[in-house]
Amino acid sequence: MAINSGPRARARRWSQVIYEAYPRLDGLYYASSMNANEPAIMLCERAADSAPARPVFHRALADAAMTAAIARAAGRFNYAVV
């Protein structure tokens, strides 16, 4: 729990040690301190070849087509959209 909710320096150090110890690791699956310990994923640059070269969907956040999706995401995390 100290890694999830303690000082960020502690979590960063753990991440650095894990990164160095497991050179084939692409990322970490962890409990998010920003989202009530819901699962979250952190990807390292090593995971670059795991993502498609070109996204299937690409829109600027300012695009009107994104308004509803942004509002849903903000509501889910209790964030305000400004």
The domains of the chain are located at: 2-76
The two most distant CA atoms of the chain are separated, in Å, by 45
pLDDT at residue 9 greater than cutoff 90: no
Q: Among residues 52, 16, 10, 56, which one has the least CA distance to residue 33? A: 10
- 21-77 pLDDT, tens per residue? 999 999 888 888 778 888 989 899 999 888 888 888 889 999 999 999 999 999 988
Which pLDDT score is estimated for 50?
Answer: 82
Using DSSP, state whether 39 is helix, strand or coil: strand
Give the integer Cα–Cα distance in Å for 14 and 5. Answer: 13
DSSP assignment letter at 1: -
Give the integer Cα–Cα distance in Å for 13 and 28. Answer: 14
